[in-house]
Amino acid sequence: MAMTVCPECEGKVSDKALACPSCGYPLEQQKGGSAWPGVFGGVAGTYISAQALVTIIVGSIMFIAFAAIMIAAVLS
């Protein structure tokens, strides 16, 4: 795995990367490689892990529950 320089932000990027991890600048597609995950509209696709998604959902539910408790406490 060789490192190259991003033409947009001049950061170090792997030669296997589809886009720069710092600025998202799309890099050339590898010849003979799969287009998945692709770069759409000049912006690298963003992926989220299942653990991060669960954390966001559980955190949102806890925040809403806490807000409901605080509102009930203030109104009573």
Q: What is the pLDDT, as a whole number, of residue 26? A: 83
Give the phi and the psi of residue 55 in degrees, each rounded to 5: -60, -40
Taking residue 66's Cβ as centre, other Cβ atoms within 10 Å add up to 10
Residue 27 banded pLDDT, cuts 50, 70, 90 = confident
- Residue pair 13/5 in contact by the 8 Å Cβ criterion: yes
Domain chopping of the chain, boundaries: 1-45, 47-76
Each residue of 37-51: pLDDT tens digit? 555 555 555 667 788
Q: What is the pLDDT, as a whole number, of residue 57? A: 96
Q: What is the pLDDT, as a whole number, of residue 55? A: 93
Q: Is the pLDDT of residue 8 over 60?
A: yes
pTM recorded for the entire structure: 0.41
